[in-house]
Amino acid sequence: MSEPSATTIYEAPDAAANAAQAATDYQAGTEDLLGEKMVLNMGPSHPATHGVLRLILELDGEVVTRAEPDIGFLHRGDEKIAENMHYNQFVPYTDRLDYLAPLANNVAYACAVEKLMGWELPPRGQAIRVLACELARISSHLLGVGVYAMDVGAMTVFLYTFTEREKIYNLCEQLTGARFTTSYTRVGGQIRDLPDGFVENLRSFLDECEKTIKEVDKLLTRNKIFLVRTRDVGIISAETAISYGLTGPNLRASGPSRDLRKDRPYLGYEQYQFDVPVGELGDCYDRYLVRMEELRQSIHIVRQVLDTLPDGPVNVADTKSSLPEKEKVLMKMEELIHHFIVATQGIETPEGEIYFGAENPKGELGFYINSRGGGVPHRLKIRAPSFVNLSILSELLVDHMVSDIPTILGSLDFVMGECDR
């Protein structure tokens, strides 16, 4: 009888066990959470990016490991366009920068050219511009807070704030003749004085808006879900904010109190009493609180302007570089010729270069003008606050969850019109 043959034991490979062991071995030698990364394109057509912003995200599971903002989808070449037209012809283009606060853009640009000319507006003209700037700030912050709340799931707030913003558009139409793209200023003044009934309508709006701000405060500031979504999320330290050149509410929420209306007053802002709100931690919640307080302070400023509104002219009295009155143009040949020269050749500016920065709702909007004389700028550059504020995204988004991205973007409150220019 033959010896029994030796038995060979074969083990069938367990795919699940092998995969688990491989994952364990990989996890021991890496810091990746899952060991496999994915690249995700967020935007440029996405409701949470607030415009044509594209984010190239590298994800480790739900965690962002790298973020690269891709901009320029709304680029129109505004700066080069300005170098090929008269100074006043560029005013409508400023409406399209931060198109949520066109009045403030108009004022900032006009102040820059007036600085080049060495002009100073009469007191009433300055006061009207302060009204325009603070109305633009209220409008911009109302929309910013409302959309921000909607980004994190609070729909009702948006309905409150958008209703008040619609009232501001009615005031803009009464003041400028347009609701959205106002083009209200001219170099040396405004297109018109305050119309009849405007002051009364503005006072009525301020009372109504103040009540709405209180309602929004009740809905959001102590809301448990809102607190969980915004506190300790998107923290920007004071040092980081300064190093990136952030301005406006995004900077002040991190602690620094820089506000050009206080630090480098223009248009008579030093006459008015108001506080500059600042945050402590620099997170998304602090940025919300700063904008809410700025709404209250802007209402306070507007009331002071209305209470102390001076009489007198609204435009610079410069007969050589300003357009004559329409009645005189229709009646006198000399005035008609003067009107034709100013309209066709533009304002005769001196040689030189200047920079003017204004405290806009999104931050410091600056215009650099290099002039070689004549009616058009040799070079014009725009410091757009949204462009600078977006530069921090590549650092800010890292180590956050994908679900935190709409919260962070909403708290920065940028607009792509001025970012891409």
pLDDT in tens, the chain (421 residues): 555 556 655 555 566 666 667 666 756 665 555 557 888 888 777 777 777 888 888 888 888 888 888 888 888 888 899 888 888 888 888 888 888 888 899 999 999 998 998 888 899 999 999 999 999 999 999 998 998 888 888 888 889 998 999 999 999 988 888 888 888 888 888 888 888 888 999 999 999 999 999 999 989 888 888 888 888 888 889 899 999 889 989 999 998 888 898 889 988 899 999 989 998 888 899 999 999 999 999 999 999 999 988 888 888 876 677 777 778 888 888 888 888 887 787 788 888 899 999 999 998 999 999 988 888 888 999 998 988 888 888 888 888 888 888 888 888 888 888 888 7
Q: Any long-range contacts for 349-354 (C-beta under 8 Å, 24+ apart)? A: 349/87, 349/113, 349/116, 349/117, 349/373, 349/374, 349/375, 349/377, 350/116, 350/117, 350/118, 352/116, 354/112, 354/115, 354/116
Map tokens 């320029």 to a residue: 72
Task: Please name which of 242, 276, 243, 259 lies closest in space to residue 358, comparing C-alpha atoms.
Answer: 259
- How far CA 169 is from CA of 173, 200, 410, in Å, comes to 6, 16, 23
What is the pLDDT, as a whole number, of residue 34? 52
Phi, psi (rounded to 5 degrees) for 374: 90, -170
Q: Which helix (H) or strand (E) holds 66?
A: strand 63-70
Domain 87-318+386-420: which topology?
Cytochrome-c3 Hydrogenase; chain B (1.10.645)
What is the pLDDT, as a whole number, of residue 8? 59
What is the pLDDT, as a whole number, of residue 381? 92
- Please give the structure tokens belonging to residue 106: 């108009």
Side chain identity at residue 181, one-letter code: T
Please give the DSSP secondary-structure letter assigned to residue 52: S
Can you tell me the distance from the alpha carbon of 92 to that of 110, in angstroms, rounded to the nearest whole number?
A: 11
Pairing of strands 189-190, 38-42: unpaired
Under a CB-based contact definition with an 8 Å cutoff, are residues 185 and 107 in contact?
yes
Dihedral over alpha carbons 221, 223, 228, 229 (to 10 degrees): -70
Dihedral over alpha carbons 172, 175, 177, 181 (to 10 degrees): -40
What is the pLDDT, as a whole number, of residue 299? 93
What is the pLDDT, as a whole number, of residue 204? 92
Under a CB-based contact definition with an 8 Å cutoff, are residues 201 and 174 in contact?
yes
What is the pLDDT, as a whole number, of residue 192? 85
**With helix as H, strand as E and coil as C, how does 152-211 read?**
CCCHHHHHHHHHHHHHHHHHHHHHHCCCCCCCCEECCEECCCCCCCHHHHHHHHHHHHHH
**Most distant CA pair in the chain, distance:** 138
